Amino acid sequence: MYKIMLPSLWLALATGCIIVEERGVSSPDGPDRGLCAGDRDCDGLSDDDELRFPGCDGDDPDSDDDGLLDGEEVDQGTDPGDADTDDDGLDDGAEGDAGTDPTDPDCDDDGLLDGDEASGGTDPLDPDTDGDGADDGTETDRGTDPLDPDTDGDGLPDGDELDAGADPLDPDTDGDGLTDGAEADRGLDPTNPDSDHDGSPDGEELDAGTDPLDGDSDGDGLSDGEEREHGCDPLVADSDGDGLSDGEEVEIGCDPTLADSDGDGLSDAEEVEIGCDPTNPDTDGGSVGDGEEVDRGSDPLDPSDDVDEPVDTGTPSTGGGPGGPGEPVDTALDTGATADTGLDSTARPGAGGADDEEAERIRARGSCGCDATAVGPAGALGLLFLPWLVRRRRR
């Protein structure tokens, strides 16, 4: 709209010229052109300046359609001809709404672009959205969920697992039967199935009641794993109750599950105490067991006292005599005196009647009147009474 100003009217009448002055008048459908002189689109950027930025349109206040006027973009350092100045996947206008920096593609320096965080649900202004100790970018690279602090649900935050070398996607990284979180709570190593190196996995130790941080829970000299191999109780130092610890028994070759390893009637500890071999039932090799010797009072370390004195049974010997096998054994005892039989040594058979017959019978049985092969200690005593017996019979 053009208006003729009154002062100009008087001048026109005087000079015959009309001066017309252009004034901006606001339009309900557009900017006040009178306030945007030299800026056709009234975007805060003069028409001349718009020519300096590729992609700018002097007739379009938001040349890149990013939600920001071209003049605003120039003021904040973004490119009015590029909707995403920092190429982070988030338009410059959207970054303004989110509070991020449209000139910084990763405002929180977590390794994820602001646009990726905005589309993935993480916070582009917080490097660790779920607060698990691992940056959102790290979690994305490792396959964990940057919105879940414990992706594998093992009770150990993803960041702690990564720091410990555990797998944040495997609840039991070392496969010992305990979750990584349970191991961390007990001070165990979630990357080592046998934290105390005793040969027994941590999970099995907890099930058995042993200490997965102590290689020898009962202190008997055998590791918990070795006790399992021998069938011992890893919580009892002397599994068989024989007085020797399991470790001592294994060291000397005994069975730590048997109180009497060699079955000789003496416990392993009793044998060790008296110097016997607990793995040998007859330590001295004398044919009598150690337990039997102790019971009867003989020495289980001396073989000479293992055999009893021979007993005279009156039975003829079947062994060989001085002449070798099959020769008769002379068992007659030398008493140092000749037995007085009271008989005439010159008497002939039949000459003396009854006396001769008696003498003949005695000779047939031996001079002592008994079986010559059966003379023993009792026979020697009988020789002392032989003369008296003969005289009594003759009377």
pLDDT digits (tens, 9 = 90+) for 279-326: 999 999 999 999 999 999 999 999 998 875 554 545 554 444 444 444
The pLDDT, as a whole number, for residue 387 is 57
Region 173-184: what's the mean pLDDT? 97
Taking each helix axis from N to C end, the angle separating 354-365 and 377-394, rounded to the nearest 10 degrees, works out to 170
Indicate if the pLDDT at residue 110 is higher than 50: yes
What is the CB-side half-sphere exposure of residue 37 using CA atoms within 13 A?
Answer: 6
| pLDDT 10s digits, 138-169 | 999 999 999 999 999 999 999 999 999 999 99
The pLDDT, as a whole number, for residue 90 is 94
In percent, the amount of the chain with pLDDT more than 70 equals: 69
Region 327-350: what's the mean pLDDT? 44
Indicate if the pLDDT at residue 370 is higher than 80: no
- Contacts of range 350-355, beta carbons closer than 8 Å, 24 or more positions apart: 355/394
The larger pLDDT score, comparing residue 163 to residue 376, is at 163
Indicate if the pLDDT at residue 354 is higher than 80: no
Do 103 and 85 contact (CB within 8 A), yes or no?
A: yes
Q: Which residues pair with 2 in a beta bridge?
A: 22
Indicate if the pLDDT at residue 3 is higher than 70: no
Indicate if the pLDDT at residue 70 is higher than 90: no
Q: pTM surpassing 0.85?
A: no
Kindly report the average pLDDT of the chain as a whole number: 80
Reduced to 3 states, what is the DSSP secondary structure of residue 27?
Answer: strand
Region 110-122: what's the mean pLDDT? 96
Region 188-210: what's the mean pLDDT? 96
The pLDDT, as a whole number, for residue 34 is 54
Enter the DSSP assignment of 149: S
CA dist 210 and 297 (Å) reads: 44
Region 244-258: what's the mean pLDDT? 96
Greatest extent of the chain over all pairs of C-alpha atoms, in Å: 222
Indicate if the pLDDT at residue 255 is higher than 80: yes
Read out DSSP for 154-215? SSS-HHHHHHHT--TT-SSTT-SSS-HHHHHHTT--TT-S-TT-SSS-HHHHHHHT--TT-S
- Give how far Cα 158 sits from Cα of 126, 165, 185, 264, Å: 17, 11, 15, 62
Q: Say how many C-beta atoms besides its own lie within 10 A of residue 126's C-beta.
A: 15
The pLDDT, as a whole number, for residue 377 is 57
What is the CB-side half-sphere exposure of residue 176 using CA atoms within 13 A?
Answer: 29
CA angle 208, 213, 217 (to 5 degrees): 55
Lowest mean pLDDT among 20-34, 49-63, 200-214, 223-237: 20-34
The larger pLDDT score, comparing residue 15 to residue 94, is at 94
Indicate if the pLDDT at residue 52 is higher than 80: yes
Lowest mean pLDDT among 30-34, 139-143, 217-221, 268-272: 30-34
Q: Which residues pair with 321 in a beta bridge?
A: 324
Do 66 and 93 contact (CB within 8 A), yes or no?
A: yes
- Give how far Cα 160 sits from Cα of 145, 291, 327, Å: 14, 63, 97
CA dist 74 and 52 (Å) reads: 11
